Chains A and B, each alone.
Chain A
Amino acid sequence: MEIYLPVAEMSVTWLVMIGLGLGVGFLSGMFGVGGGFLMTPLLIFSGIPSTVAVATTLSHVTASSMSGALAQWRKQAIDFTMAGVMLSGGLVGTLLGVWLFAHLRRQGQMDLIVSLTYVIMLGSIGAIMLRESLTTLQAYRSGVTSSSRPVNHVWIHRLPLKMRFRQSRLYISVIPPIALGFFVGALGAIMGIGGGFIIVPAMIYLLRMPTNVVMGTSLIQIIALTAVTTVLQATSNYSVDIVLAGLLVMGGVVGAQLGVRAGAKLRGEQLRLLLAVVVLTVCFGLLWGLIATPRDVYSLTLGSP
């Protein structure tokens, strides 16, 4: 039942890793997120060195996003123009992120920065989604059909370099999508995530894209970003474990397919409510790890820092 990981240089129970991939993949397919924000902490928790966890999770995200994206593609729910524009910012962000990753690791503050960033990002996004989906659901129940608020974010519409995104039925400046891509690219390299849990809400609430194209578009841009970051991590940190990646991917792709089906049975607001709950749970878990008194205030690292 045990299998040896050649790069992580340790043994794991392969069934557990496939199960991990399956569970996280299910959520990916359901919400259109890569699942890296769950996978990376879970891998570290099961004893995988954090450098290997961050780099290897990316492959899992590529695969489950691939499988999810193809399903969305058949539904013609992908805005390729939007994905391309975001990606142009994302590639620059990734390069910066990989550099920052190495710098923070030398300082010994990697874990703190990663946890703090997670808590802040997950906390604010989870709270916004929770509030939004609850008010929508309430309005639904009380019979009020239109929940569309007056168009806010006026500043976004005043920005120059406007472009037409046919699939999303939007005519907006390219600056917000490029900035979003850059931000997510940088964050992804540091945290070992595709960034779906940031992109999806940002597309819905900031760019005001229709929910049905959000999933597919975020997935396709995540695939491209994680593929590039995997290669960058493999060449600069030698920390991608192909055996572990294979196990996670095998579970992940099956889980993603099942997730897409489960997601199709739920309404948008319900999906958002569920995702908000998942995001907030992870957020509180990480927050607890930061503020709870550790069992041992000393920690030990073997080998070069």
Chain B
Amino acid sequence: MTRALAGFLMMMVLAGAARAEDLVSGISQDIIEITSNYTGTDIVVFGAIERAEQAQGRAIVVVVRGPNTLLTVRRRDRVAGVWVNRDSAKFDGMPSYYYLASTEPVDSIAPPRVLARHGVGTEYLQPSAVGSHHDARPFREAALRHLKQDGLYKEAPGTIDFLSETLFRTRIPVPAEVARGQYNVEVYLFRDGEVVSAQSTPLFIDQTGIERRLFNLANNAPLAYGLICVFMAMLLGWISSVLFRRPA
């Protein structure tokens, strides 16, 4: 993340100095509030290219990154007929959510070196630390496979709509099972395999209302919270017993 950020800042400086094509972008909402009926939502990312040159050789990539997390991958092996967790590998500093929308597949936009530097494309995401006693590659592939299956990592090439020569827009789904915290919406403008401009906007996903209060109670006053749970269970048990009592 820090590496990506450093690269991003450097590139911003370079882009500013060159006074070449520039990018302006925004998102439809910068806070997503999780309420009791929250089942996921969509955000719209839109932008415009200033001082646009010809469309040839140009590509737009929009990346939404969730807060960083630790990924633990375990492999099961058969021991005496039973499948047991044996080897494991840990990847730290990986985004808990990653959605990429682009004008074309990332591999045809820029060389792997550039993609890896900016963390563009699920294959090019670099963990900040790898903990493993053996070859971590199959574990890394397994992690990506699981994340894609669960809808937490996704690449959607060809989903950016151009409303005019320079005006674009894309719709990004935020599923129900996402971590709370600060997300980053990054928009990249590529030209001939290099990033010429980029912009990052924070997006906050957090609980509100009663959910928020319950979550806070569970974490700040766990004893009271636990007692409330027990009391509720006993009370409901008692009520049902009274309600269902047959006149003897």
Contact surface of A with B, Cβ cutoff 8 Å:
2-4, 6-7, 9-11, 59-60, 62-67, 70-71, 74, 108-109, 111-112, 116, 223, 227, 230-235, 238, 240, 242-243, 245-246, 249-250, 253-254, 256-257, 290-294, 296-305
Contacts and interface: CB of A to CB of B under 8 A. Distances in A.
A238 B223 CA distance: 10
Nearest to B248: A74
B215 interface: yes
A70 B230 contact: no
A60 B233 contact: yes
B130 interface: no
B232 interface: yes
Contact of B218 (A71, A240, A250): A240
Given A111-B85, A249-B232, A298-B139, 5 more contacts: A4-B36, A11-B176, A60-B233, A62-B237, A230-B229
B164 interface: no
Contacts of A298: 73-76, 138-139, 142-143, 145-146
6 contacts: A2-B38, A9-B179, A242-B232, A243-B214, A301-B74, A305-B72
A254 B226 contact: no
B126 to A, nearest CB: 18
Interface string B207-222: 1000110110011001
A4 B37 contact: yes
Main secondary structure of the interface of A (DSSP, over half): helix
B229 A245 contact: yes
B225 A256 contact: no
Contacts of B83: 290-294, 297
A85 to B, nearest CB: 22
Contacts of A7: 214-215, 218
B210 to A, nearest CB: 8
B220 to A, nearest CB: 10
Interface stretch (B17-25, B194-202, B239-247): B239-247
Nearest to B84: A112
Contacts of A292: 83
A305 B211 CA distance: 25
Interface in B136-165: 138-139, 142-143, 145-147
Contacts of A290: 82-83
Contact of A235 (B142, B212, B222, B236): B222
Given A7-B215, A59-B230, A59-B232, A231 B241 contact: no
Given A6-B207, A299-B73, A240 B232 contact: no
